[in-house]
């Protein structure tokens, strides 16, 4: 018995020594991205409950904190400052108050915030104030201050959890100048993401010697705008080509993604994108094994193994955090008061979905107001909402976010007749199929994009499907790309001349090169766009639309019927088929 007891004691001593030589740390890394003002479980635009939102993410994170305590790392990946009246009100109306987007991030105790392109779009006055109001650092290694040559915000942060050192590096898509006028990002430039990541990875590894490296990138998976200098969506490229990242958390493209890829050294990198509107979060469970080893003559714990499992949990079934809601009661009341102000009355109901099939009341109402506000000859506009409705009856401030989604300015540009036609050619090439038979699709659809939040069943992005007012034209879908658009006349009956200069109203996204319709389509060099702009509005386009509706009082929106798809014997039945595929049967 004595021998048995001694053996057991020896085994226990050995095991406890072995345990003392080794320990395990568990972390949970949670990322939100492209929240777009979805803070509260109420849609202030459509006056109805809202799925997901940070009110539910808050309860999800609180549950994790019960188990993981301080080992929950919470990261926000940008595009938080635009999308709901919530944001608009605190960005541009009640500018004296703290921005609600800072209050929400602070309440939830985020560890870091990355910059998104829609955050930059709010302008220096808004985002510089927001940065000052945040309790956590804003990250953007490739956002360079042109005066100092250093990052405009912090490039990375270091977090310590139970002896584990974690580096978080933030970056933003460098395609900002393709969408936004320079005054919004004055004093800043945006570096290629791969180049910037290589530079900062070297600094982080040499200076910080972290155990875990996380990338938080407001840039999509791959593709987007590609120039000789950069790619818009380069997150996977960075993950593959820049060794050192254990995980890359990204966003911007509003498309869920959960894959573990191998980098150029053959090491795994967990890549997660939770898409948009806080319906899902990116959740990485990290298990780290540390063993005691001699380092420079001293025994210390060294990471010997890392296991990371990524997931994209749906938070729409999570309970609403009632404490969160109570904390924001004053802001919610202010926003409700703002959106419920009546500005006019609509005689008839209009639908954005009709914009894809021809001249329609929804898109033409915006085009006509652009012409009226600017006194331009021609106007371009694309449907910014896939399927929104303005109902007959009273129209409120909240409805204006359905009528016009983004905070774009209004521009007037000088374009030749030929450039106008080429601009439209590229738009319709992105938009419609080349029909070879009556049974073909009218629209350029893609079954792979039916569920995603950006293409919504189209092959291309529908916010680049510009149609025009001020000219009468036909789009022959049997003709090859580049030859579909035939401009018949100006809508006032005057002849249209391809050699003549015209004043054209566009939104600032388009006027700055967004969608490449003016550059790749019309053939205008990117660096010449600025010289073509002869008018820039001081306020956003929605503000002027709202002002115009208030002056009109009662609105009778009708289609201009200034353009159509031909041959109609083919296009009308094809339009009906494609309508049912995208939206179901008309009621």
**Domains, in order of start, for the chain:** 22-335 (3.60.21.10), 342-583 (3.90.780.10)
With the C-alpha atoms ordered 517, 521, 522, 528, is the resulting torsion angle positive or negative? positive
Q: Is residue 160's pLDDT more than 80?
A: yes
Burial 275-296 (b: 16+ CB within 10 A, else e): bbbbbbbbbbbbebebeeeeee
Under a CB-based contact definition with an 8 Å cutoff, are residues 248 and 255 in contact?
Answer: no
Q: How much is the pLDDT for 295?
A: 75
Which region among 88-97, 479-488, 577-586 has the lowest average model confidence (pLDDT)? 577-586
Per the listing, tokens 């939102």 go with: 53
Under a CB-based contact definition with an 8 Å cutoff, are residues 430 and 460 in contact?
Answer: yes
Name beta bridge partners: 393.
Answer: 346
Burial 196-209 (b: 16+ CB within 10 A, else e): bbeebbeebeeeee
pLDDT tens for 187-198 read 999 999 999 999
Q: Is residue 294's pLDDT more than 90?
A: no
Q: How much is the pLDDT for 489?
A: 98
| Residues 449-475, mean pLDDT to the nearest whole number | 86
Please, which contacts does 205-208 make with residues 24 or more away whose CB atoms are closer than 8 Å? 205/244, 208/158, 208/165, 208/167
Q: Is residue 451's pLDDT more than 90?
A: no
Under a CB-based contact definition with an 8 Å cutoff, are residues 231 and 221 in contact?
Answer: no
pLDDT tens for 261-289 read 999 999 999 999 999 999 999 999 999 99
- DSSP H stretches of helix in 22-68: 54-68
Q: What is the DSSP letter of 224?
A: E
pLDDT tens for 500-551 read 999 999 999 999 999 999 999 999 999 999 999 999 999 999 999 999 999 9
Q: How much is the pLDDT for 406?
A: 86
Q: How much is the pLDDT for 8?
A: 55
| Residues 27-44, mean pLDDT to the nearest whole number | 97
Strands 247-250 and 268-273: parallel
pLDDT tens for 318-365 read 999 999 999 999 999 999 999 999 999 999 999 999 999 999 999 999
List CB contacts of 311: < 8 A, sequence separation 6 or more: 258, 283, 284, 285
Q: How much is the pLDDT for 457?
A: 79
Q: Is residue 236's pLDDT more than 90?
A: yes
Q: How much is the pLDDT for 455?
A: 65
Which pair of structure tokens corresponds to residue 249? 């958390």
Q: Is residue 437's pLDDT more than 90?
A: yes
Q: How many CB atoms lie within 10 A of CB 448?
A: 10
Residue 168 φ then ψ, to 5°: -120, 115
Under a CB-based contact definition with an 8 Å cutoff, are residues 171 and 217 in contact?
Answer: yes
Share of the chain above pLDDT 90, in %: 87
What three-state secondary structure class fits 554? strand
Q: What is the DSSP letter of 361?
A: H
Mean pLDDT score of the chain, rounded to an integer? 94
Containing H/E element for 53?
A: none
Which pair of structure tokens corresponds to residue 281? 């979060």
Q: Considering only CA atoms, which of 16, 128, 117, 136 is closest in space to residue 74?
A: 136
Confidence band, pLDDT 50/70/90 cuts, at residue 3? low
Under a CB-based contact definition with an 8 Å cutoff, are residues 225 and 516 in contact?
Answer: yes
Report d(CA 183, CA 382) in Å as an integer: 24
Which pair of structure tokens corresponds to residue 225? 């705008």
pTM: 0.87
Which pair of structure tokens corresponds to residue 372? 């009226």
Q: Considering only CA atoms, which of 559, 563, 339, 336 is closest in space to residue 472?
A: 563
Q: Considering only CA atoms, which of 117, 111, 112, 180 is closest in space to residue 143?
A: 117
With the C-alpha atoms ordered 326, 331, 332, 334, is the resulting torsion angle positive or negative? positive
Report d(CA 442, CA 420) in Å as an integer: 23
C-alpha distances (whole Å) from 456 to each of 255, 451, 530 are: 11, 6, 32
Q: Is residue 449's pLDDT more than 80?
A: no
Per the listing, tokens 């406890």 go with: 16
Q: How much is the pLDDT for 557?
A: 96
């Amino acid at each position: 018995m004595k021998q048995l007891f001694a053996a057991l004691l020896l085994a226990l001593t050995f095991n406890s020594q072995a345990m003392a030589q080794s320990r395990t740390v568990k972390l949970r890394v949670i990322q939100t991205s492209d929240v777009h003002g979805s803070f509260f479980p109420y849609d202030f635009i459509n006056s109805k409950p809202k799925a997901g939102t940070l009110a539910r993410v808050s309860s999800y994170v609180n549950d994790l904190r019960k188990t993981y305590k301080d080992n929950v790392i919470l990261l926000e990946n940008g595009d938080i400052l635009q999308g709901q009246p919530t944001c608009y009100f605190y960005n541009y109306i009640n500018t004296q108050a703290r921005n609600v987007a800072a209050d929400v991030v602070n309440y939830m105790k985020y560890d870091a915030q990355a910059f998104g392109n829609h955050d930059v779009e709010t302008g220096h006055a808004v985002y510089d104030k927001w940065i000052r109001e945040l309790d956590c650092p804003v990250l953007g290694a490739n956002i360079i201050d042109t005066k100092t040559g250093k990052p405009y915000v912090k490039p990375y942060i270091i977090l310590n959890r139970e002896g584990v050192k974690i580096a978080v590096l933030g970056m933003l898509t460098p395609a900002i100048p393709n969408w936004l006028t320079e005054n919004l990002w004055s004093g800043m430039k945006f570096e290629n993401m791969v180049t910037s990541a290589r530079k900062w990875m070297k600094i982080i590894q040499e200076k910080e010697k972290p155990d875990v490296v996380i990338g938080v990138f407001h840039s999509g998976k791959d593709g987007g705008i590609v120039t000789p200098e950069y790619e818009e969506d380069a997150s996977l490229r960075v993950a593959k080509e820049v060794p050192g990242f254990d995980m890359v958390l990204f966003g911007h493209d509003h498309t869920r993604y959960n894959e573990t890829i191998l980098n150029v050294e053959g090491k795994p990198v967990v890549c997660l994108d939770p898409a948009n509107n806080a319906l899902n979060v990116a959740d990485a469970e990290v298990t780290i094994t540390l063993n005691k080893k001699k380092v420079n003559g001293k025994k210390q714990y060294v990471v010997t193994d890392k296991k990371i499992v990524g997931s994209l949990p749906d938070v729409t079934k999570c309970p609403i955090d009632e404490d969160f809601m109570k904390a924001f009661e004053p802001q919610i009341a202010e926003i409700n008061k703002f959106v419920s102000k009546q500005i006019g009355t609509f005689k008839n109901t209009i639908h954005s979905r009709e914009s894809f099939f021809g001249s329609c009341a929804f898109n033409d109402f915006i085009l006509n107001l652009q012409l009226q506000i600017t006194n331009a000859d021609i106007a371009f506009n694309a449907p910014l909402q896939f399927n929104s409705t303005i109902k007959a009856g009273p129209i409120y401030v909240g409805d204006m976010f359905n009528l016009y989604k983004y905070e774009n300015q209004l521009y007037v540009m000088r374009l030749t007749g030929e450039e106008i036609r080429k601009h439209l050619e590229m738009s319709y090439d992105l938009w419609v199929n080349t029909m070879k038979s009556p049974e073909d699709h009218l629209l350029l659809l893609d079954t792979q994009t039916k569920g995603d939040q950006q293409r919504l069943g189209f092959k291309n992005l529908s916010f680049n499907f510009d149609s025009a007012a001020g000219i009468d034209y036909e789009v022959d879908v049997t003709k090859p790309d580049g030859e579909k658009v035939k401009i018949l006349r100006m809508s006032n009956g005057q002849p249209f001349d391809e050699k003549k200069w015209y004043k054209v109203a566009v939104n600032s996204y388009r006027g700055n090169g967004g969608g490449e319709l003016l550059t790749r389509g019309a053939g205008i060099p990117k660096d010449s766009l600025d010289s073509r702009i002869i008018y820039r509005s001081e306020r956003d386009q929605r503000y002027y639309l709202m002002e115009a509706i208030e002056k009109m009082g009662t609105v009778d929106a009708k289609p201009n019927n200034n353009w159509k798809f031909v041959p109609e014997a083919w296009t009308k039945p094809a339009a009906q088929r494609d309508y049912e595929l995208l939206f179901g049967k008309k009621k």
